[in-house]
Structure 1
Amino acid sequence: MTLAPTKINNKNSVYIRKVHTNIKKIDTPFLEWLTGFVDAGGNFNISLRNYSSQDNKYNSLILTFQIGLNLDDLEVLKFIQKKLGCGKISISKNKCNFFVNDQASLINIIVPVFNFVPLKSSKYFQFLIFEKAVTLIKSKGHLTDRGRNEMIKFYHEIKNPSIYLKASPALSPINKYWLGGFVDGDGSFSAHLNRPVFKFENHVKELPLFKAIVNYFQFGNINTYKTRNNSSQVVTIEFNNIHFLKNVIVSLFTRIKLLNSKNLKDFNYFCILVDIYYYGYHTIPEGKSLAIEITSNWNNFRFSTYKTPFIDFKKKYQILSNIPSPFVIKDGGLRFYRNTLNLVSDKIRITAIDHLNNVAIFSSISECSRILQIDRATIKKYLLNGQIYKNYRFKFNNFIYFDRKEG
């Protein structure tokens, strides 16, 4: 079956017309998700059969777009295959692979899709080389001596990671659907010392992309380090601020269906762990015990090879939540110990406004105290009562607001 050229609607959809079939609509949110997923774990490959570097010749070539996953994520590949209307899936032991290598699908579906929604990672450059190779095949240029030499050039370029380190991706704006795909492929919902952590980790060549993620959230710090064997450098973003996790990450990923992989199961446990710490249940034996139980079983239930009976952590948390929470949330996000006026020792940002309406923002009460030479207890007192002290009015600036409207 041959494919007619892809028709693109720049407002909200890509339409793919197959001969003898109706027009199939692929919604843009899926394509944004797919782009994020491919940025995390997809590949564009040029394979030259019987290539001889000495003679600079090859017998035949195969161009392949592929995504490889653990077998437990087979349903995700079926989801992608159904949405795109092309490609095949192979299974080997505990691995599954979605791949597209027929010329019609590469020309009419894969290349138009990633031109319509550009990749944002170093895969962008890989795709540009791949697109040139597809275009060469489309024009039959690969059948000429000059075209064969061009294909060999593309073959070497696409396998050379150094090309990605010499340039920055042409990043288009990140949105929530792209983020969902990237989280499915590269993000992790986990814990450190039983405390919830949301994390990204990748090769340092993705530093521009990680900066874009931090800019999207207007929150987070980027770190780089070398692996143990010093073979490569890694870039990470780690979010462990409980207010950010509760009010941004949990809120975002529960409000809209953004996750499609087995990461969704991790996220469901993550939400429970966030609530345990946000409401202070980790300070009582029952909550601490449940947090330990969740983190000790974190990855087990999402793998089919794990045979231990399923534990319903949602039900266990419902029982736990019948106990009055140790922390009470007031004033849009401030946490107090129950039945007291004592603030939970969060890292609270403070805004100080003087009598001339000059505004100074401090990262903590301690920093405010040190710079303004006012003791911490006094600052806390006037933060709570809202009165003026030494020409300063103090306000909490701890509320993390995130409600970006996206088309």
Structure 2
Amino acid sequence: MAIFTVSSQKEISIVIEIFNNSPLNTTKHLNFLDFKKAFYLYINTTKKTLNLKKEIDNIKNGMNNERSYFEMPANHIKITSYWLLGFVEGEGSFFISKSDNYRIGFGLGQSSKDLILMEEIKNFFNNLSGEFPNKHDYGNVVSFSTIKPSVHQSYGMINLLIQNKQYITNVLIPFYDSMVWISKKEYDYKDWKIILNLKQLGLHYTKEGIKVIDQILSQTNNNRLSTNKQHVTVDRTLLQIEIDKLLSGPSNFEKKTVEFSLNL
């Protein structure tokens, strides 16, 4: 684990300026406003009295896990392409359902406190279809599912899910490909694309394809940097050779069609 901490007053002022110019879209913004209020209260008060401490403690005691008020300022949320990419790099999931014929999907999860934000993200994705060359009416491609809070939780979860194959191929992938990633999430995204390409060739029905897909999956997400001694690390150079070989070969669907015609 790596931890980055800013603690000097000069550097905190820089952080505040950053988020003044690039406002947070989640309810974390409310914690930022309280943090900023407490910071300026502290640095602008000459005498650090007990009353000052109590005032700052009152602010602190209403932040983060102690917060009970989550109403965001009106029209505050602004979704941009790169803000969304940053959010995806932190919270996104490029998943393959192995038990469901290697079903492809993309998901985002967030606390139900951020319902308005998730609705704005949903609208952003639904409106993307008109921005790329393959313009189709995909309808409402984004679905919501909710998870109720457990006994130990105050709030549930909202999961945003995209599984429409045409939308993923013609809209979502061109969207992500058009931007510059900065985290290791890009590697998971690229592996996800490879599996999608293998599926489009019908290779998930072949022994060779299944073997390669399973090897890719064994190295994605948390397994990518796993230090577990029982985890088997795959040689990515050799794996890429196998991937390129499969992708440059014939489609399994075409092969099945030829075999059927010959049998006739």
Report the TM-score when normalising by structure 2: 0.78
Measure, in 1, the Cα distance between the counterparts of 2:54 and 2:150: 40
Identify which of 106, 109, 116 aligns with 2:21.
Answer: 116
Conservation of the 8 A alpha-carbon contact between 1:195 and 1:273: no
Q: Report Cα offsets for 1:312-355 as digits up to 9, x if no partner.
A: 44332211122222469xxxxxxxx978xxxxxxxxxxxxxxxx
Structure 2 CA distance for partners of 1:296 and 1:142, relative to 1, 3 Å: farther
1:323-402 matches, within 5 Å, as 323-326=249-252
Helix, strand or coil: the match of 1:197?
strand
Unaligned 5+ segments in structure 2 are 127-140, 259-264
The match for 1:280 is 202
Measured in 1, the distance between the counterparts of 2:61 and 2:108 equals: 29
Following superposition of structure 1 onto structure 2, how do residues 257-268 of structure 1 map, counting pairs within 5 Å? 257=180, 259-268=181-190
Q: Tell me how far apart the structure 1 counterparts of residues 146 and 114 of structure 2 sit (CA, whole Å).
A: 11
Question: Counterparts of 1:3-18 in structure 2 under 5 Å?
Answer: none
Q: In the alignment, what sits opposite 2:115? A: 207
Whether 1:314 aligns to 2:248 is: no
After TM superposition, the structure 1 = structure 2 runs for residues 45-194 of structure 1, keeping only pairs within 5 Å, are 95-107=1-13, 109-140=14-45, 143-159=48-64, 160-164=66-70, 167-168=71-72, 170-193=75-98, 194=102
Q: Which of 256, 259, 272 in structure 1 is aligned with 2:179?
A: 256
How far apart, in 2, do the equivalents of 1:241 and 1:309 lie? 30
Choose from 100, 125, 133 the match for 1:217. 125
Letter in structure 1 aligned against 2:111: H
Number of residues of Structure 1 aligned to a counterpart in Structure 2: 233
Q: Deviations over 1:91-147 (max 9, x none)?
A: xxxx2111111111112x111110101000010101010010111123126724543
Moved more, 300-309 or 181-190: 300-309
Q: Are residues 242 and 288 of structure 1, via their aligned partners in 2, closer, same or farther at CA, if it must alter by over 3 Å?
A: farther
Looking at structure 1, the residues matched to 205 and 35 of structure 2 have their Cα atoms a distance apart, in angstroms, of 54
Checking the alignment, whether the CA contact within 8 Å between 2:34 and 2:63 is kept in structure 1 is yes
Change (3 A) 1:292 1:229: farther
Asked if 2 retains the 8 angstrom alpha-carbon contact of 1:141 and 1:147, the reply is no
User: Is contact 2:150-2:156 (8 Å) kept?
Assistant: no
Assess, with a 3 A threshold, how the Cα gap between structure 1 residues 321 and 307 changes in structure 2: closer, same or farther.
closer
- Tell me the distance in 2 between the aligned counterparts of 1:207 and 1:142: 42
Q: Which structure is higher in RCO with an 8 Å CA cutoff and minimum separation 6?
A: 2
2:163 is matched with 240
Moved more, 189-198 or 113-122: 189-198
Partner SS state of residue 294, structure 1: helix
8 Å Cα contact 1:276/1:282 also seen in 2: yes
Cα separation, partners in 2 of 1:280 and 1:144, compared to 1, 3 Å: same
SS at structure 1 position matched to 2:161: strand
Rounded to whole Å, the distance in 1 between the matches of 2:162 and 2:15 is 34
Give 3-state SS (helix, strand or coil) of 1:236's partner.
strand
Determine if contact 2:215/2:234 at 8 Å carries over to the other structure. Answer: no
Judging by fraction of residues, say which structure has more helix: 2
Larger Rg: 1
Q: Write out per-residue CA displacement over residues 153-191 of structure 1, whole angstroms, 9 at most, x where no aligned residue.
A: 111111423222xx1465332112111211111111221
Q: TM-score, normalised by structure 1?
A: 0.52
Given the superposition, is the C-alpha separation of residues 300 and 131 from structure 1 closer, same or farther in structure 2, using an over 3 Å criterion? closer
Compared with structure 1, are the counterparts of its residues 227 and 157 closer, same or farther at alpha carbon in structure 2 (3 Å cutoff)? closer
Change (3 A) 1:130 1:315: same
CA distance in 1, matches of 2:253, 2:167: 17
Indicate the RMSD between aligned Cα atoms, in angstroms.
Answer: 2.6
> Relative to 1, partners in 2 of residues 1:326 and 1:297: Cα closer, same or farther, differing over 3 Å?
same
Stretches of structure 1 that go unaligned for 5 or more consecutive residues are 1-94, 329-336, 340-407
